[in-house]
A and B are shown apart, each in its own frame.
Chain A
Amino acid sequence: MSYPLVALPVAATPYADKVDGLFWAVTGVCAFVTLGIAFAITYFCFRYRSGAAADRTLPDLAAGKSRSRRIEATWIAVPFAFFLIFFAWGAQLYYVYDDPPGNALQVFVTAKQWMWKVEHSDGRREINELHVPVGEPVRLVMTSQDVIHDFYVPAFREKRDVLPGRYTVLWFKPTLTGVYPLRCDEFCGTGHSMMTGRVYVMSRDAYSRWLASGSEEPSLARLGFARFRELGCSGCHGPGSSIHAPSLAGLYGQMVPLADGSFVRFDDAYIRDSILQPARQIAAGYSNDMPPFAGRISEQDLLELTAYLRSLANTPPDVPQGNHLQ
């Protein structure tokens, strides 16, 4: 198989196109400056080489001072103006991009030395591959089981570190079907350069067929419901429990009050923290009775429990939990 000698990756998302726009703008300015300086140095070196006849009279000290002040002020102000534009342009793109749309398809990614484990909300699992439909926003919720990794898809012009002990989020809305390389971009040990994969951006039809072709696996939320009972969560947080613990139905995405008077969003990170270290953020009106699960629960269990609580987002607190998954 032959390859072009030099080829920039395709831009598979509208965001990637915008990043490329900024890239070419910065490149234009930098190329202009490089050529300008190179020309000036070459010209001066030739014109004012020792022995060459040239006018070398400099203005007297006072006039020279005010002139060089003006010159210096110019080449401080002009670059600074360009820098401000570069800063604002890059920051604006990134800032607007930072917030994924609410309707994004949620996919969980667990990195470990040296593979990517991907779980879709319906329970479909993949390794080193990610299938997504074209034209839909996709939100990756990522964590690592060991060292720091980095999920990098050059075609999306985006990457994000994947850390142990917390979630990071990366989202994209691919508009071009195709197969794009996925690479780990944070050095993670011996097999770092083998920790690669593919992102398949598929037409809606192809994606539906791919979804349907999967083996019958229970959804993450259903697995999470099972875990909710096995681990004893339902004993306190389930409906009808005699223990004074909050019902978790209908909370996902809401702001909840804490005992110290502050509020926190009930999201993936808060769920994770509250399972691992419940004492750190106690909900208002409750006492710290829950045992910490840090070190006693796997990343997989956490993902499943989170998916379950997420599925309860629109369930009223008094409905028997789990029923909506049947």
Chain B
Amino acid sequence: MSTVTAEPALPETESNYLANGYSLWSWLTTTDHKRIAILYAVTITAFFFIGGAAATLMRLELISPTPLIMGAETYNKLFTAHGVIMVWFFLIPSIPATLGNFLIPMMVGAKDVALPRVNLLSWYTFILGGAFVIVALISGGIDTGWTFYIPLSTRYSETQVVYGVIGVFVTGFSSILTGLNFIVTVHRLRAPGLTWFKLPLFVWAIYATSIILVLATPVLAMTLVLLAVQRVFGLGIFDAALGGDPVLFQHMFWFYSHPAVYIMVLPAMGVASEVITCFARKPVFGYRTMAYAIAAIAAFGFMVWGHHMFVAGQSLYASLVFSFLSYVVAIPSAIKVFNWTATLYKGSITFEAPMLYALGFVGLFLIGGLTGLYLASLALDANLSDTYFVVAHFHYIMVGGSVMAYFAGIHFWWPKITGRMYPESWSRLAAIVIFIGFNLTFFPQFILGLEGMPRRYFEYAPQFQFLNILSSAGASILAAGYVLPVLYLTWSIRHGSRAGGNPWGAKGLEWQTRSPPPVENFDVPPKIPQRPYDYDPQAEEAQRQ
């Protein structure tokens, strides 16, 4: 890009956080937020491909309406593994624990997070939880679905439910510690003069996410403990046969698991705001509204869990309230989509890979959000609940939305993280392949749901086969799209061209330092801008000529 100006020419040997020790030990004992971010990135990438492998096998099986390569038991274990791993070991930590860890201290102008050793403890806790889940998978797997509904998970399943539940329980502490760390960091370590309304929206998003992590995760922890106690000792809190109530379990489970969707999508919105403003060369449209929308989503996100239970035996009046509130929470999400679109107006737009990913995110999030309007409606949900329509809807939000944004962020900050540029053509190609593969995989599933195909079906009626084959074909394209970045990004670590401190001419504080940054992030204290996203499309155009 043309805006790379007066970059101080620093020698390659200049000390930076990556050069601060090369031994495995130096990585495993680091308290540097940037290195911990990379520890997380490597681990969740591994989990992403384990969860992805499970999905690949499922899509392969679903080519045929009758058993093809496995039995029902195996299929059920695969979708459980896919759900548990992707939700708790990839999506929830994805943007917060990698990009958030790397960027939050830099974006607020700090040397590190407020509690660096707690940050490392978070990662070890995550690893310990992950180990339990891996043990559960190796020792036979779990067949309850990631939702662990009772009494299937307590009285009837004969699989490794307890290991899995312990794994998720332990990982929850990692979420809580990370969230706590970000909250304290944003409150206490902002550079002098960096007021709340000068913070990038990414910081707002991660801050709101952290609040959800800290408030919601303990409820999940309690619920899982009660589940384990019921399974092992027969305590009957949720057991109808002992006077308990299985629907209570669902209330408690979704009290966490619906806000968890916002844990996954708020950070994605933060990334999109950074990337779109940078490549449109324009301040984000309606900065304050965008910040308030983030806060509103986090707040209302706690009040809509009952929309998962319209047909579960919940009272009609509760359902009415939850339906209404679910429409309310859609408003701030709609605002964000409109404002991103308006940000493009009168910009000076370029289409580097991060921008392609970010625009892909907006499109897929839009479809995911709009299909949520169907499921918030009582009469429509009573038809569509637990069908493939729901599967398609939440994959549009969580994969189309969050994973696209994660990739946008990884490419956008790759030069900052590694000091090297990623290969542009390959990255654009991957963005396009992923977008096409994703739609081909999941759009047919909306129609499958409308046709009446329930989710979690190992065998299905022959009339559903055509759309399932289409979906599986899309999945193979999507898989190729996901493998590409691993290859070219790995290649670029050694062979990519040098990035310089600010290859995008971006305005965030993190771009005021070298790439890769020094151990304490800034050689000289960063200059605090008058307002966030201080881009000027006209100046940009003038400079081109």
Contacts and interface: CB of A to CB of B under 8 A. Distances in A.
A148 B386 contact: no
Interface string B232-266: 00000000110101110000000000000000000
Contacts of B323: 87, 90-91
A87 B377 contact: yes
A257 interface: no
Contacts of B366: 33-34, 37
B341 A5 contact: no
Contact of B344 (A8, A48, A71): A48
B157 interface: yes
Interface in A26-60: 26, 30, 33-34, 37-38, 40-41, 44-45, 48-51, 54-58
A91 B289 CA distance: 30
A159 B383 contact: yes
A44 to B, nearest CB: 4
A301 interface: no
Contact of B335 (A44, A72, A113, A188): A72
Interface in A236-294: 277, 294
A187 B458 contact: no
Contacts of A100: none
Interface in B249-307: 280-281, 285-286, 289
A63 interface: no
A56 B538 contact: yes
B377 A26 contact: yes
A210 interface: no
Contact of A147 (B152, B339, B450): B152
B112 interface: no
Nearest to B539: A56
Contact of A154 (B359, B371, B376, B452): B452
B347 A98 contact: no
Given A79-B331, A86-B327, A94 B383 contact: no
Interface string A138-170: 000000001110101011011111011110100
B406 to A, nearest CB: 20
B233 to A, nearest CB: 18
B534 interface: no
Chain B interface size range: 35 or more
Nearest to B247: A163
A98 B316 CA distance: 8
B532 interface: no
Interface residues of A, number: 85
B311 A181 contact: no
A157 B335 contact: no
Nearest to B448: A6
A7 interface: yes
Nearest to B370: A30
A164 B350 contact: no
A59 B465 CA distance: 55
A107 interface: no
A57 B241 contact: no
B463 A26 contact: no
B197 interface: no
Given A55-B346, A91-B323, A83 B330 contact: yes
A187 B335 contact: no
B240 A34 contact: no
B460 interface: yes
Interface in A178-192: 181, 183-192
Contact of B454 (A9, A91, A183): A183
B423 interface: no
Contact of B347 (A44, A158, A159, A183): A44
Nearest to A160: B311
A148 B249 CA distance: 12
Contacts of B385: 159, 185
A161 B345 contact: no
Contacts of B544: 50-51
B370 A166 contact: no
B285 A8 contact: no
Contacts of B538: 56-57
B50 interface: no
A231 interface: no
B156 interface: yes
A104 interface: no
B380 A22 contact: yes
Contacts of B344: 40-41, 44-45, 48
A125 B123 CA distance: 58
Contact of A148 (B152, B286, B330): B152
Contacts of A161: 311-313
Contact of B286 (A68, A87, A192): A68
B222 interface: no
Of B311, B337, B359, the most chain A CB neighbours within 10 A belong to: B311
Nearest to A154: B452
Contacts of B313: 160-161, 163, 166, 168
A155 B383 CA distance: 9
A190 B72 contact: yes
Of A1, A3, A148, the most chain B CB neighbours within 10 A belong to: A148
A232 interface: no
Nearest to B385: A159
A192 B3 CA distance: 59
A158 B286 contact: no
Contacts of A1: 462
Interface string B341-361: 110111111110000000100
A193 interface: yes
Nearest to A49: B349
Contacts of A277: 243
A3 B541 contact: no
B453 to A, nearest CB: 8
A17 to B, nearest CB: 12
B458 A9 contact: no
A90 B467 CA distance: 28
A93 to B, nearest CB: 4
Please give me the 4 A-B residue pairs with the lowest Cβ-Cβ distance, nearest first.
Answer: A165-B240, A154-B452, A90-B377, A94-B378
6 contacts: A55-B346, A58-B346, A83-B328, A91-B379, A148-B152, A164-B246
Given A90-B376, A147-B155, A192-B456, 9 more contacts: A7-B463, A23-B374, A34-B370, A48-B346, A49-B350, A56-B537, A147-B152, A158-B383, A164-B151
